[in-house]
Structure 1
């Protein structure tokens, strides 16, 4: 990203605003506020995908290292861990997202061996939308 870590962090650390710039994020509902550091906050995310289905899951903030790591535990139609890592990269920022989840919908689990390439493609499209949206957001709100 051609923006400083602080700007990228500001956007990633405000998931309630993600629907404004990430077209796959259809809804974010705060379920629990968590502590003053944000740990324990729970949000329910509803995502539209490039394939004709939506995914809903709750994400609990489990680790926050300001300006570096946001990590959460997903439960619902996906179950596992998601982690944003942001690091300085020259004048910009390197952003990495690690997503280690299992499918919980019966139809997805049943068809996963056959549809794995389609699911991977779908995930990459959704993340690409996030990248495009974040780049645009950073340009609009310096």
Structure 2
């Protein structure tokens, strides 16, 4: 079985302040907002819908970041080949709130704190996605 999802690294600028959004998923891990593509959607539409549903933030896609793939075992469907498309997304409106049915929390963080949390509590396959997003925003990260 093949499953396609999309999401993004969401950021906002308030004056000179740059913040990045991270979520805590239902497993307690730090991650990026994302979700499954619905029939008739493009990956871009999926990314923006999922960000809005999970975090309350409306955004615009700045550019594609990465496409990652992995496999997992689903209790009913068996082996699932997952493909996730990530975009750099600028927040334009909305009030930050977590979709509690899907995630535990969401917050705005400084780029340095977002990188620290990703490295300490995030999924390894998101390291490259967040690193690329921060670099595109002019932020250098160090391991």
TM-score, normalized by length of structure 2? 0.28
User: Which structure has the highest helix share of the two?
Assistant: 1
TM-score, normalized by length of structure 1? 0.29
User: Which structure has the highest strand share of the two?
Assistant: 2
The one of the two structures with greater contact order (alpha-carbon pairs below 8 A, sep at least 6) is 2
